[in-house]
Structure 1
């Protein structure tokens, strides 16, 4: 597995419309995309910080993963995502090394990326996403 960089940091928010002004007006970042990923029950907004993105995540369904996260822990950092060459190959390699997977195979995420999540019980408590364009 070849990790090239931190692809993004996912931050759960109650409302993207309320969060975007903080990132734009206070931090001087520019939201360049807002997208809904229906099968993940989430609306996303993206900001570039150098080569890394900040991804805001708003639940579109209280029973979705972000809705449940916010209900349990409140808004805040949700996950850390690493860019890899091939998500399926990386998932297989990590599983062989004993990492517990949430996703056995890559699935489609925001911005057309293929994504796969690793269980935080295997990643020092940090929900970890691997993603790639392949």
Structure 2
């Protein structure tokens, strides 16, 4: 992750906001901020990581787009009632002390969306 992170900090001028190891997902996450945006870089820490398998299959690049929400479980209920295919029916603990849930890529023309609620 060091080389891509340097691109974002040295070339794009973003700052590292937070970094943590997410053991249950087998990834290391770095959050960068700049220009009104927050970007999360993920690096798999084992070959059993879903991120590792994704990179092996599709290569490096954008994995998903995260959308911030204030009522994540309410959003999940609304999406479910609208028959939107979800990966997560309820929010789970995510990085940076957040609650997260994923919308299945088949519901969004192949794009994986993550809903995030920060505390």
Q: TM-score, normalised by structure 2?
A: 0.93
1:76 aligns with 2:56: no
CA RMSD of aligned residues (A): 1.2
SS at match of 2:8: helix
Structure-to-structure mapping, 1:86-101, within 5 angstroms: 86-101=71-86
1:6 alignment partner in structure 2: none
1:31 alignment partner in structure 2: 16
**Where do 5+ consecutive residues of structure 1 fail to align?**
1-15
Runs of 4+ in structure 1 displaced over 2 angstroms?
49-52
**Where do 5+ consecutive residues of structure 2 fail to align?**
none
d(CA) in 1 for partners of 2:44, 2:104: 20
1:51 aligns with 2:36: yes
Query: Relative contact order, CA 8 A, sep 6+: which one is greater?
Result: 1
SS at match of 2:109: coil
Q: TM-score, normalised by structure 1?
A: 0.84
| Aligned residue pairs, count | 119
1:41 aligns with 2:37: no
User: 1:18-52 CA distances to partner (integer Å, 9 max, x unpaired)?
Assistant: 21111111111111221111111111111112332
